[in-house]
Copies of this chain bind each other. A is one copy, B any other.
Amino acid sequence: MTTPAAGNRQIRLAARPSGLPVPTDWESTVEPVPEPADGHLLVEVSHISLDPAMRGWMNDVRSYIPPVRIGEVMRAGAIGRVLASRHPDFAVGDHVFGPFGVQEYAESDGAGVRRVDLGIAPPETHLGVLGATGLTAYFGLFDIGRPQPGQTVLVSGAAGAVGSVVGQLARLTGCRAVGIAGGPDKCRTLTEEFGFDAAVDYKNDDVPAALRKHCPDGVDVFFDNVGGTILDVALTRLARGARVIVCGAISQYNNTEPGPGPSNYLSLLVNRASMTGMVVFDYADRYPEATAELAGWLADGRLRAREDVVEGDVTSFPETLLRLFTGANTGKLVLRIR
């Protein structure tokens, strides 16, 4: 094994952000590249996944996963190459996904690590459609949304990593897919690239009117990545027996105090509808079946992967993360380490 003299550059959480993360919330450190312990492996990280959920992990609150501690390397799913292995399941040269964090080299006991097949898709797609992103769309839509052919599936954050997959899976199921996104470019991408039946531009359209127009029979499944006023408006359009999937609330993650709740929640009663939270980790034992199905659709062209790949080094992470919250990215945001 050869290790670069420069060591292992890392991005650590330095402070809990108030609102949007600022540079002083982060610290860049360099440590020696570790030697793998017995039963462990060493990975050179090449692609880091950036996800809206990361913002939640930075808050010191009880959630579905413990917060990142102050001083800890920022938590991130990533892909890299095995540089050294004392682990029976992994060999030098393997390409692997794992919870490697925002750093150039990761030493791991193998927990949560799996090999990825770059023959079927490039690394960024393994972080996107074939990673937690695609799995979130898959289980959220199919298990909680239970869409039936002919029904209407509405998706917020539809040009984002998860939303763009949800819309395509809805179409694959024979549903009408309507997406909400910010700006005409994203809306065009929804209909032209991802095959949505209609797109609503929340920055320029009258959203209630647009939903009435594009969801004339109401919304059977609402896959919500956004929260806030979008959720509140969508609730007014629920069809009888509708299922709302609470996948995220990106509009709320940088609030410094709790935003208002969905004042139209009694639409759940009027329409005998449900609103259910989901966390993809709960479906871990079914990842293989879902990934195989997603890979099949990807291979036969029925599912399109789109990634927003930013080139840089790990110190580009803080600035790149902000793209998720400013509406700058379309598809899966990935930091490729030069």
5 new A-B contacts, CB < 8 A, other than A258-B263, A266-B277, A273-B276, are A232-B261, A260-B260, A261-B265, A274-B274, A274-B276
Q: Copies of this chain, how many?
A: 2
Interface residues of chain A, those whose CB is within 8 Å of chain B, are 62-64, 227, 232, 246-249, 252, 258-279, 282
Asked if A265 and B259 sit within 8 Å, CB to CB, the answer is no
Closest residue to A273 on the B side, CB-wise?
B277
Asked if B270 and A277 sit within 8 Å, CB to CB, the answer is yes
Supposing A273-B277, A276-B273 touch, asked if A246 and B261 sit within 8 A by C-beta, the answer is: no
Asked if A282 and B272 sit within 8 Å, CB to CB, the answer is yes
Closest residue to A271 on the B side, CB-wise?
B277
Name the B residues within 8 Å of A258 (CB-CB).
Answer: 263-264
Closest residue to A53 on the B side, CB-wise?
B269
Name the B residues within 8 Å of A270 (CB-CB).
Answer: 62-64, 277, 279
Name the B residues within 8 Å of A252 (CB-CB).
Answer: 266
CA distance A263 to B228 in the complex (A): 10
Name the B residues within 8 Å of A63 (CB-CB).
Answer: 270
CA distance A98 to B62 in the complex (A): 50
CA distance A175 to B282 in the complex (A): 26
Name the B residues within 8 Å of A227 (CB-CB).
Answer: 266
Write 18 A-B pairs (CB below 8 A) sorted by A numbering.
Answer: A62-B270, A64-B270, A227-B266, A232-B261, A246-B269, A249-B266, A259-B263, A260-B261, A261-B261, A261-B263, A261-B264, A262-B262, A265-B265, A268-B277, A269-B278, A272-B277, A273-B276, A274-B276
